[in-house]
């Protein structure tokens, strides 16, 4: 079981978990691979490299594999290509961009800019359009299928677009605390709640896409 979007705290007053706690709770939830992100607006990239090394060390003993990076939130779309390059240069193994969710006032154009910039994951992309979904498939940028109750409002739409255009579709919880991390038993229910896409040879088309997509992204990140 996989969760590519668990949020680490940016500081003592920030939302999110510390790395050791995130790994522990992920292991208890039955996860085998997680993506850990810190919020980033480009003002301080010095934390990224040390954090990546710290998580790599912790994960050796945590019974869960992890890759670490950033979540770029509310970045003006015109700045995303440069910032994605900068955070990767600073050591980020995973780049998530906060997409045009229905529950927040994200600037229009963020979805397409994130894809053009080559982010790894476009989180909760809301009512993503045909152009963006096709572009994501072309660029290999994964769309997020989320268990976060607010961001999940457009899950079925996101899944439909990924299935139609062949885009990667991966799970993320946007977890900020232990109770937000979706467990091995809860994820199937979240998927079933949006799964109106039929079966092939007795297997859910949506689940098959998610499984294949996640393995593709894991293989990519493991090469980091």
- Residue-level pLDDT at 203: 79
CB 204 within 8 A of CB 197: yes
- Residue-level pLDDT at 86: 98
- Residue-level pLDDT at 14: 58
- Residue-level pLDDT at 122: 98
- Residue-level pLDDT at 198: 74
The domain total for the chain is 1
Q: Which positions of the chain have pLDDT values less than 50? A: 12-13
202-212 burial, b if ≥16 CB within 10 A, otherwise e? eebebeebbee
Q: Which residues pair with 72 in a beta bridge?
A: 40, 97
Report pLDDT digits (tens) over 107-150. 999 999 999 999 999 999 999 999 999 999 999 999 999 999 88
Pairing of strands 203-204, 199-200: antiparallel
Query: At 32, which CATH number?
Result: 3.20.20.140
For residue 40, give its domain range: 2-222
- Residue-level pLDDT at 11: 63
CB 146 within 8 A of CB 5: yes
Give 209-213's long-range contacts (Cβ < 8 A, gap of 24+): 209/159, 209/162, 209/163, 209/169, 210/145, 210/169, 210/170, 210/171, 213/142, 213/162, 213/168, 213/169, 213/170
């Amino acid at each position: 079981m996989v969760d590519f979007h668990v949020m680490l705290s940016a500081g003592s007053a920030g939302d999110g978990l510390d790395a050791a706690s995130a790994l522990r709770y992920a292991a208890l939830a039955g996860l085998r691979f997680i993506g850990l992100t810190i919020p980033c607006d480009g003002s301080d990239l010095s934390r990224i490299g040390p954090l990546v090394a710290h998580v790599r060390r912790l994960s050796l003993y945590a019974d869960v594999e992890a890759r670490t990076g950033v979540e770029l939130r509310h970045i003006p779309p015109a700045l995303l290509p440069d910032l994605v390059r900068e955070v990767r240069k600073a050591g980020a193994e995973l780049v998530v961009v906060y997409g045009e969710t229905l529950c927040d006032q994200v600037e229009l154009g963020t979805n397409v800019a994130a894809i053009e910039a080559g982010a790894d994951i476009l989180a909760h992309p809301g009512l993503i359009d045909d152009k963006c979904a096709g572009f994501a498939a072309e660029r290999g940028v994964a769309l997020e299928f989320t268990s976060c109750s607010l961001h999940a409002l457009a899950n079925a739409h996101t899944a439909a677009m990924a299935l139609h255009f062949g885009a990667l579709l991966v799970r993320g919880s946007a977890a900020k605390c232990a109770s937000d991390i979706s467990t091995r038993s809860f994820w199937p229910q979240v998927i079933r709640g949006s799964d109106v896409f039929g079966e092939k040879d007795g297997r859910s088309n949506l689940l098959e896409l998610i499984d294949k997509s996640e393995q593709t992204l894991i293989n990519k990140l493991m090469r980091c």
